[in-house]
Amino acid sequence: MGILYDARKLKALDFLNDLCEYAGKDEDFINILWQEFLCDEELYREYLYYADHHTFLDEMKVCGYSMSDLYVWQMDRYNIVRELGKNPMACNKESLVLNAFKEMANMKRDPATYIKRIQSGKGNDRI
């Protein structure tokens, strides 16, 4: 009798590790986000789509906000840094994508807080 395992999950975890390594995210971030994916089928489906297509599925919405909306919000948060001509690791595409997934997980648990943050405007002092 053979051992059954889900190869897709192993590939998904490998992709997450690669993204996080490129984005400069630590192992704690990886573990937290992976647990979010494993506990939330809808969020995991969005992640799998991103892993396969390098774009968001945007099927999941929280109070009308999609993954693309949260990605753009992440970009706006770092707009001041970009205007100064300095692009730290926290401002690269992979980091913004990962942060958008984490924000979506948080937003699903506490929509009011995150909607208030999004609607209050850009700037790191408002986060």
Domain that holds residue 71: 8-126
Q: What is the mean pLDDT of residues 95-110?
A: 95
Residue 25 lies in a domain: yes
Phi, psi of 25 (to 5 degrees): -85, 145
Angle 111-119/93-109 helices, nearest 10 degrees?
A: 130
Residue 1 lies in a domain: no
pLDDT tops 50 at residue 125: no
Burial of 83 (0-12, 13-18, 19+ CB in 10 A): exposed
Residue 49 lies in a domain: yes
Counted domains in the chain = 1
Contact present, 102 and 33 (Cβ < 8 Å): yes
Confidence band of 80 (pLDDT split at 50, 70, 90): very low
Residues 2-39: pLDDT tens digits? 666 678 999 999 999 999 999 999 999 999 999 999 99
Residue 78 lies in a domain: yes
Confidence band of 120 (pLDDT split at 50, 70, 90): confident
Task: Give me the pLDDT at residue 60, please.
Answer: 96
Q: Whose structure tokens read 């929280």?
A: 62
Residue 2 lies in a domain: no
Closest CA to 22 of 100, 115, 90, 116: 90
Residue 23 lies in a domain: yes
Spell out the long-range contacts of 13-20 with Cβ–Cβ below 8 A and sequence spacing 24 or more: 15/51, 16/47, 19/94, 19/97, 19/98, 20/94, 20/98
pLDDT tops 60 at residue 66: yes
Angle 111-119/67-77 helices, nearest 10 degrees?
A: 50
Q: What is the mean pLDDT of residues 31-54?
A: 97
Residue 3 lies in a domain: no
Whole-number Cα distances in Å, 47 to 32, 72, 84, 108: 14, 17, 32, 15
